[in-house]
Amino acid sequence: MEKLEKVVWGIIGAGDVCEVKSAPAMSEIPHSEVKMVMRRNAAKAADFALRHGIGQWTTDLDELLNDDEINAVYIATPPDTHAALTLKCAKAGKAVYVEKPMANTYAECLTMINACQQANVPLFTAYYRRTLPGFLKVKELIENGKLGNIRFVNIEMYQPLQTEIIANLATNWRVIPEIAGGGYFHDLASHQLDYLDFLFGPITESKGISANQAGMYPADDIVTASFLFENGVLGTGMWCFTTEKVSERDSTRIVGSKGELTFNTFGSPMIIQVNTAEGGNEEFIITHTQPIQEPLIRIIVDELRGDGISPSTGISGARTTKVLDTITHPKD
């Protein structure tokens, strides 16, 4: 794809993620604007466009893809549509920025990568933690040798069963495996595992056990996993989405030969706690502001204009989906 003077976005899907996390950034960043939003519900598409100062809206995907001024498309729909929409965007010659998880299966991810390569258009995935200040601080501490040689990482994520999930089960696609690829593990742990890929490199081996213990929705609600990074670091994780409030936890712990650090992946502020024999206890509190995808989108805009390289691509996003696959579908 040739360098762009200005990135003109079309948005497919305009739900909660678009509302505050991403779409506003596309209009705020220099050399970037949103020209059109597409959604199947006309009233919601029109309302979104009006509130966000977007000039055009449509319910017709072809109208968006056939607009010659639009040179990049943000796919913000549920994961089961990502592959098919990416293939259509690539065929239309548009750069693609797709929400996470990248697709429901690793095989779908490979078709997306191949289509974009064949069309000579870039493919990016919305794993924006790779660009946020708090997560870059963790990476800096590790790379500066604060913890020495890294031995292992452990993820603990426990959440109480939310009553609104059950009340809105028919519309909560995140717990419908056919739409989301799995349950909240796919939705939330994908961010954690992708960030660890950013820290330590690809995960080369992974396995796990998943189950539906509470039986409150179709997807698995508990997952345990172990994994190995290409640099020799070992990892483990436990995710449970039906605990009591007193057990709620969001903690990633990284242990090295000189000490350890812990941090929360979700919520703001991000609190990084470091404990080493040499330096004792240290704490870094970093607030991430909305639109939270702005740092990543800014880098993507820069790359499309020929000045920058995004740390989150289709290739890296596919690696994360492959890990999700092998943890929750070990026999497939």
Residues 105 and 142 in one domain: no
- Which residues face 283 on adjacent strands? 273
Percent of the chain with pLDDT over 90: 94
Nearest of 189, 262, 267, 266 to residue 221 by alpha carbon: 189
Band (259; pLDDT cuts 50, 70, 90): very high
Confidence of residue 332 (pLDDT cuts 50, 70, 90): low
* pLDDT for res 164: 76
Decide if 217 is inside a domain: yes
Residue 140: which CATH number?
Answer: 3.30.360.10
Same domain flag for 76 and 141: no
Same domain, 24 and 166: no
* Residue pair 223/328 in contact by the 8 Å Cβ criterion: yes
* Of 97, 126, 155, the domain-final residue: 126
Same domain for 160 and 120, yes or no, is no
Candidate from 42-56, 162-176, 218-232, 295-309 with smallest mean pLDDT: 162-176
d(CA 190, CA 185): 7
**Per-chain mean pLDDT for the chain:** 96
Tokens 């172990």 map to which residue? Answer: 226
**Contact present, 214 and 161 (Cβ < 8 Å):** yes
Residues 105 and 150 placed together within one structural domain of the fold: no
Q: Is residue 181 a contact partner of residue 324, using CB atoms and an 8 Å limit?
A: yes
| Helix residue ranges, H only, the chain | 16-17, 23-28, 42-51, 61-65, 82-91, 106-119, 133-143, 163-167, 177-180, 184, 190-200, 294-304, 314-328
152 and 281: one domain?
A: yes
Same domain? 19 vs 112: yes
Q: Is residue 14 part of a domain?
A: yes
Domain boundary among 126, 153, 171: 126
Give pLDDT tens digits for 4-37.
999 999 999 988 889 999 999 999 999 999 999 9
In a domain, 326, yes or no: no
* Predicted confidence (pLDDT) per residue in 203-217, tens digit: 999 999 999 999 999
Confirm whether 303 is domain-assigned: no
* Residue 292: inside a domain: no
Q: Report pLDDT for 64.
A: 98
Q: Tens digit of pLDDT for each residue in 40-79?
A: 999 999 999 999 999 999 999 999 999 999 999 999 999 9
Q: What is the pLDDT of residue 124?
A: 98
What is the largest distance, in Å, between two alpha-carbon atoms of the chain?
Answer: 61
For the residues 255-275, what does the mean pLDDT come to?
Answer: 98
* 149 shares a domain with 90: no
Quick count: other Cβ atoms within 10 Å of Cβ 277? 8
162 and 69 assigned to the same domain:
no
Give the domain extent around 57. Answer: 7-126
Indicate whether 174 and 229 sit together in one domain.
yes
**Residues 6+ away with beta carbon under 8 Å from 136:** none
Instruction: Print burial letters for 302-330: b (CB count within 10 Å at least 16), e (below 16).
Output: bbbbeeeebbbbbebbbbbbbbbbbbbee
Token pair for 29: 């960043």
Contacts of 232 (CB under 8 A, 6+ apart): none
* pLDDT of the residue at 171: 80
Does some domain include residue 138? yes
173 and 276 share a domain?
Answer: yes
* Inter-residue contact 122 to 304 (CB < 8 Å): yes
Q: What six digits make up the tokens of 263?
A: 């941090």
What is the token pair recorded at 124? 């990016």
Examine residue 304 and state whether it is found in any structural domain, yes or no: no
In a domain, 309, yes or no: no
What does DSSP assign to residue 320? Answer: H
| CATH number for position 39 | 3.40.50.720
Long-range contact pairs involving 222-225 (C-beta distance under 8 Å, separation at least 24): 223/185, 223/189, 223/327, 223/328, 225/327
| 3-class DSSP assignment, residue 3 | coil
Residue 138 sits in the same domain as residue 110: no
Q: How many domains does the chain have?
A: 2
Angle formed at CA 321 by CA 168 and CA 190, multiple of 5 degrees: 55
Of the three residues 95, 126, 157, the one that is the final residue of a domain is 126
Q: How does DSSP assign 101-158, residue by residue?
A: SS-SSHHHHHHHHHHHHHHT--EEE--GGGGSHHHHHHHHHHHTTTT-SEEEEEEEEE
